[in-house]
Amino acid sequence: MKYSIVIPVYSEGKIIESTIKEVSKFMNRRTKDYEIIIANDGSTDNTVEVVTKLMKKYKNLRIEGYAKNRGRGTVLTHAFKKAKGEYIIYFDSDLTIDLKLFDDVVYWLAHGYDLAIGSKHSAGSDIKTSSFRRFLSKGYSFLIKTLLSSPIVGLQCGFKGFRREAVFALLPHIKDSRWSWDTEIVLKALWSGYRVKELPAKVLEDRERESKVNVLKDVYDMGTRLLWLAVEKTRFSVRKTPTLLLTFDVEKFVVPEEQGIKHTEEELFEISKTGLNKIINLLSKQNIKATFFITKAYASRYPSQIRQLIRKGHEIGLHAFNHSDNYSKMSKDKAYKRLRLAKNYLEKTFKIKIRGFRAPQFNAPPLSVLEKLNIEFDSSTHPWILSKQRSKSRHIYNHKTLTEIPVSTTPILRLPFSWFWFKNLGLFYSKICTKRTLTDSSYINLYFHPWEFTNLKLPTNSSLISKLEVRNNGDRVYLKLNKYISWIKKSKIKTSTISKHLMLS
């Protein structure tokens, strides 16, 4: 899912219906790929009843929260954890801030920023408010600037957007349960090196209502919290924890078939078997776990090798029934039946749960087929610069029941650095691409094939592309990947299977 809209409420029965209608109308002009979450903080009026009734009309509407009041910060944290969107945006229920700010927020989130926040103090802001509110706002901003030396002072505006990876890393460290939640999460994002974009907000004068802030109690609490944050600043950091996800597409050696070079079926599978044994040896030597996407055709030939992978703690995913399957060109029904047979074979034979899928050559079926198969994540996207998928997101994308996790490419230029490019462009290239990718992503998802780890030679009349596909194979790619993993460890980048990274297992 692309967008989660979170609206915190406390006893907003009088306005919540009109708010939902307006937000739905606004979003429907832009996309259908969104959800609206009403974050209820123990409303004592008919808010819950109104929202529950509207859920029958608005299928992408739901309510989360608490029966008793626990504080605005607490209910926002709770709702964010329930959100499914790649981008999570929240704004206040009175829609005081012009909704058009949404367009600017998602633009900057899509262009590498981790947070994009509305600000009443940013140049270009259009603010018309009471003298008392201006006094409180300026006083609070003065304290933020003097106590915390923050480059951004407009932290309390009720309109903020977050990239999912960033906010989920920050939420466990947010302590405030009430009105300082906004200030704390933005400051801790800044202290941790996240990119925060401040955007001018326009306040709609006819929407302003009497504030629900308890002036004495809440202003005292916010001031006290600022003092604690000033102390905490000296020792706080939630750095993005970068993770390497090594993945392998386990299939027979396919280059000869693709280029019309004759080999027996047995020879093609044996080449991959030899390479997979080397991979197992390398991962054991480095003491890391990886994700293996396996065809049914391969697993049925070498079940003992698959069991060895499982014993060593590696993750098994589904690749295909046969590598030659092109699921993008099959009917949904045929693709489903082929993949169901393969998935059932792997699960029953090896007594494991298959969570992930990657299609051969990224020719995936519609997501509805994978959802029907109860696949939890799909890694069939490789949005590199010359591919048909180049316009797709480079980041983790959450659908209703399935998560897409693309193979890594660099920002802007979308340079690839998995198998073919990893082997042919040198270790320096791979390191540079890794560093560039981690500027706006918390993970590196690389893929290889077992046959790459077998020493191979093709006939002299083979095509240039075939020769490049097997160039630097065998011992050379083994040694290079070994050096790369050692560098990854020295760079304090952890390693993981995809399921564990997505917290599915």
Q: Same domain for 249 and 128?
A: no
Predicted local confidence at residue 237, as pLDDT:
56
Predicted local confidence at residue 113, as pLDDT:
84
Comparing 45-54, 103-112, 214-223, the range with the smallest average pLDDT is 214-223
Q: Same domain for 93 and 197?
A: yes
Predicted local confidence at residue 238, as pLDDT:
60
- For the chain, how many structural domains are there in total? 2
Pick 135 or 164 by higher pLDDT: 164
Q: Same domain for 109 and 223?
A: yes
Residues 90-149 pLDDT 10s = 999 999 999 999 999 999 998 878 999 998 765 555 555 555 555 556 666 666 666 666
Alpha carbons 382 and 384: distance in angstroms, whole number: 6
Cβ atoms of 495 and 288 closer than 8 Å? yes
Q: Are strands 356-357 and 61-66 parallel, antiparallel or unpaired?
A: unpaired
Q: Same domain for 389 and 449?
A: yes
Predicted local confidence at residue 239, as pLDDT:
56
Q: Same domain for 392 and 439?
A: yes
Round to the nearest angstrom and report the end-to-end CA distance of the chain. Answer: 21
Predicted local confidence at residue 140, as pLDDT:
62
Predicted local confidence at residue 70, as pLDDT:
94
pLDDT-derived band at 151, boundaries 50, 70, 90? low
* Domain boundary residue, one of 219, 235, 251: 235
At 149, list the tokens: 């030396």
Predicted local confidence at residue 390, as pLDDT:
84
Q: What average pLDDT does the chain have?
A: 88
Q: Provide, rounded to the nearest whole percent, the portion of the chain with pLDDT above 90.
A: 65
* Statement: residue 450 has pLDDT above 90: yes
* Statement: residue 399 has pLDDT above 80: no
* Domain boundary residue, one of 182, 208, 235: 235
Q: Same domain for 209 and 259?
A: no
Residues 226-262 pLDDT 10s = 777 777 776 665 656 789 999 999 999 988 776 666 7
pLDDT-derived band at 180, boundaries 50, 70, 90? confident
Predicted local confidence at residue 205, as pLDDT:
66
Residue 492 class from Cβ within 10 Å (0-12 exposed, 13-18 middle, 19+ buried)? exposed
The DSSP secondary structure of 435-467, one letter per residue, reads: HHHTTS-SEEEEEE-GGGGS-----TTS-HHHH
pLDDT-derived band at 499, boundaries 50, 70, 90? very high
Q: Same domain for 333 and 258?
A: yes
Residues 4-49 pLDDT 10s = 999 999 999 999 999 999 999 999 999 999 999 999 999 999 999 9
* Domain boundary residue, one of 209, 235, 261: 235
Q: What's the sign of the alpha-carbon dihedral 388, 390, 395, 400?
A: negative
Q: Per residue in 128-149, is it b (16+ CB within 10 Å) or e — as a string? A: eeeeeeeebbeebbebbeeebe
Alpha carbons 159 and 464: distance in angstroms, whole number: 54
* Statement: residue 220 has pLDDT above 70: no
Tell me how crowded residue 75 is: count the other CB atoms within 10 A of its CB: 25
Q: Same domain for 103 and 171?
A: yes
Q: Same domain for 337 and 476?
A: yes
Q: Same domain for 253 and 286?
A: yes
Backbone phi, psi, residue 115, to 5°: -130, 145
Q: Same domain for 314 and 273?
A: yes
The CATH number for 369's domain is 3.20.20.370
At 112, list the tokens: 């590498």
Nearest to residue 87, comparing CAs of 189, 27, 4? 4
The CATH number for 203's domain is 3.90.550.10
Question: Identity (one letter) of the amino acid at 344?
Answer: N
Q: Which domain holds residue 260?
A: 243-501
Average pLDDT over residues 325-346: 98
Q: Same domain for 48 and 65?
A: yes
* Statement: residue 51 has pLDDT above 80: yes
